[in-house]
Every structure is written in structure tokens, then in C-alpha cells.
Chain A
């Protein structure tokens, strides 16, 4: 039997943290690209597109992330599409992230008074010009703080990938727990690492919120 010193435990956990960070980044990039596309589609003011996006958001916000992961991982492979735990985790986290981001960004665009659209149109600006010069500069300022805040949810969401067997921080935590029988120590360390990843982002989001609220 291998003995695990405190150093070994920490070393393994920190190694696994890399995968948590990588998965978070992949999910965030994937999620925001999908959300960006959906937000752009929403701007076309097509009723059918609106209700489809509404349904998409409702579907992924109304079901547990864990269930989405199970569906992507076990479900898809049962249907004949082979997918790795890594692929399933990214896929489901992308759905999850985009469903929340599209809703956050919708709010940011909707807070701008309607008169701005009308005024820009009266000034003879094209749709793209309105977006480029009027709407986006303001909407992005409002959107940064809640988006950074949501990235914390993405990092925490990656912990669920441990359930489908993706070896990241939480999974290594349970594995080390099984090897060392020191759950208190192991899970305290795991929690501390997550906290160190998430807390700076939470703080930064709060700072941004104050900054942009003050300037308006």
C-alpha cells in the first residue's frame, strides 16, 4: 500500500486543478460563443427565433446540470455516438453556460431604453451601425460584471464532471479520500482550492459592478 504524505495529497490535488481550470475555460469559451450567436439571433426580432431561444433557456435552466451530463455521456453513447467524459462534460457545460449567459446578456440589452434604437434609426443609422456605435458599447459595460460573476458558477459546475468520471479536482478528491481515509483533510483542501479559484472572480465582479454603477 502506498502511503500518502500531505505533500502528495496537495501535489495530486493541484495537478487535478489544472483540469478543472481547463474544463472551465473550455466551457466558458464554448458557452459564450453559443450565447453570442443566440443573442445575435435574438436581435433580429423574429418571433419564432425568440420563442425557440426562450425554450432553449427554459430547457437548460429548468433541468439539473447533472442530468444534462448524464444525457450527454451515457445517453449519447447508448444511442451509438461514442463520447468521452471530457467531451460530454464540455458539451453539457456549454449548454448550461450558454443558457444562462444568453439570459444575462438579454437583460443587459433590454435595460437600454428603447428610445435609443428609435433615435438611432431616425438619424439614419443602419442596424449594424446602431449595434456597433450605440447599443454594444453600453450593453458590454453593463454585461461585464454579471458575466464575470457567472464564471464562478461555471467553475463550480465543472465539479459535477467528476460524477461521469472525468478526473478533475473533485474526482481526485474522492480518489484520494478512498486511498487515504482522511476525508476531512482531503475535502477541506479541495474546498480551499475551489475557494481560491472562485473568490477572486467573485470579488472582481463586485468591484466591476461598483465601478459601472458609479459611472452611470
Chain B
């Protein structure tokens, strides 16, 4: 009943789609966490006005579907004279999306660092930079790392939507293949399996990065 062999000749289509998805995921993970870290710092340590601006951004993104954000950026912004390619639009949309979610997550981490800990660092004569990295950010990230990893994977899975504005990602490949050979079930099943593999791989990669990043605990 199922004919997976019919998909073999399209393996390069799947592969290039997979590559696009991975590329976008890596890029937006880095950019999104950067946005999230900056916004979380503002929410935690900034002044009232900037705190309010950040929380409006976070709530707006968290309470609207990603596909609407994507359509707004890709179809809506050109009306204001901002013309974006599908690739650019999806990168911006994914970054903004992950940025908002990671702001909330990272802020929780920052909130868990007690004031006394920062004051203690000052008393011990640590420089500003040392305090920032070793006393604030690394311990804060360690606490929220599992949640952050899950969010990055959710955003990666959410990126399937960008096929709708014709970015040639993994889902686009699946649609293309099933429109060629009409093996919809097989094509989507293989693609779902690829996504599953990708999310397992991503979790594994994040965990090994985490082990490197938070190694300081093992020092005597």
C-alpha cells in the first residue's frame, strides 16, 4: 500500500529542503537568543519606559500565531515600502518570534540571580565583565537552559510554515514531491520523520553545548 521507493529519486529535493531548514534554524536560534538576552536584560535592569516597550513586544508576539506574523511581515510590510525576499521575511519573523519567547525565559533566569550574589561579586573585586558573565549570565542561563532548548526546537518545528511563502524548506520539498508523484502520505511521513530526527539531533547538540558552557561547576 505504501510505496516509499517512489521517493528515492527525490532524495536530493528532500536534502536541499532539510539543509534550508537547518540553516534557518541555526541562524535564527543565534539571532533570536541574542534578541531575547538583550530584551530580558532590559526587562530586568532597564528603566520603566524601556521595560514597558519590551513587554508590549513580548505580549504581542506571544499572543498571535506565527503564520500571521509571517504574513504580516511578508505581505504587509511591502505596503509600507519595505520589500523583503521570502527568505529574509522568514528569517526576520522567526527571529522576532524566538526573541519574544526567549525574553520571557531568560528573564526568569535573570530574576533568579539574587542581588546579594551580585554584591558579593563586587566585594570580592570581580570586574564588571566578570560579574556579568560568571555571576549573572552563565548561572542564569544554566537555570533556564532546558526551557530555552525546548523553545528553540518549537521554533524550528514552527518554521514549517515558511513553506507557505515559498521558502524552499523541508515542508516545501514535501509538497513539491507529493505534487509530482501523488504519494502524499509517504512524502509527509518521511518529512515528519526527518523533522523528528532533526529535533532529536538539535536537543542532543544543545545538550553537548550546555555541557561545555556550564562546566565551571566541576572545577574544585
Smallest CB–CB gap between B81 and chain A, Å? 11
A67 and B68 in contact, given A59-B196, A79-B1, A198-B63 (Cβ under 8 angstroms): no
> Which residues of A approach B to under 8 Å, CB–CB?
58-59, 62-68, 70-71, 74-79, 152, 155-160, 162-163, 170, 173-174, 177, 182-184, 186-188, 190-191, 194-195, 198-199, 202
A71-B188, A183-B76 given as contacts; is B195 within 8 A of A174 (CB)? no
Determine if A62 and B199 form an interchain contact, defined as CB atoms under 8 angstroms apart.
yes
A187 touching B72 by the CB < 8 A rule? yes
Is B171 within 8 A of A199, CB to CB? no
- Contact partners of A78 in chain B: CB under 8 A: 182-185
Q: List 12 A-B contacts (CB under 8 A).
A: A62-B196, A64-B158, A64-B192, A68-B192, A70-B188, A74-B188, A170-B71, A177-B71, A183-B72, A191-B72, A195-B64, A199-B63
CA distance A59 to B196 in the complex (A): 7
Q: Are A67 and B64 in contact (CB under 8 A)?
A: no
How far apart sit A63 and B191, CA to CA, in the bound complex (Å)? Answer: 9
| Cβ–Cβ contact A66 & B63, under 8 A | no
CA distance A70 to B21 in the complex (A): 18
B71 touches A79 (CB 8 A): no
Asked whether, in the complex, the Cβ of B161 is within 8 Å of the Cβ of A66, the reply is: yes
Is A64 within 8 A of B195, CB to CB?
yes
Which residue of the partner chain, among A67, A155, A182, contacts B171 with CB atoms under 8 Å? A67
B66 proximity list for chain A (CB < 8 A): 156, 159
- Shortest C-beta distance, A17 to chain B (Å), equals 13
User: Secondary structure of the A side of the interface?
Assistant: helix
Which residues of B sit under 8 angstroms from A66, Cβ to Cβ?
160-161, 163, 171
A64-B160, A187-B71, A190-B68 given; 7 more Cβ-contact pairs under 8 Å: A63-B196, A64-B161, A67-B191, A183-B71, A195-B64, A199-B59, A202-B62
Interface of B: prevailing SS: helix
Number of B residues near A (Cβ < 8 Å) is 43
By beta carbon, the residue of chain A nearest B156 is A64
A195 to B100: give the CA distance in the assembly, Å.
Answer: 15
In the docked arrangement, what's the CA distance between A194 and B160, Å?
20
- Decide if A159 touches B77 in the complex (CB within 8 Å): no
- CA A183 – CA B77 in complex, angstroms? 8
A157 CA to B75 CA, complexed, in Å: 20
Instruction: Name the interface residues of B119-157: CB closer than 8 Å to any CB of A.
Output: 153, 157
From the candidates A76, A183, A198, name the one contacting B79 in the complex (CB within 8 A): A183
Residues of A within 8 A of B160 (CB): 64-67
Residues in B with CB closer than 8 Å to A159 are 65-68
A79-B1, A170-B68, A198-B64 as given contacts; A177 in contact with B75, CB under 8 Å: yes
Alpha-carbon distance A195/B160, docked complex (angstroms):
22
Contact with A along B34-61 (1 / 0, CB 8 A): 0000000000000000000000000110
Question: What CA separation (Å) do A190 and B72 show in the bound complex?
Answer: 9
- Cβ-closest chain A residue relative to B78: A183
Within the assembled complex, what's the spacing in Å between the Cα atoms of A78 and B185?
7
Q: B residues within 8 A CB of A173?
A: 68, 71
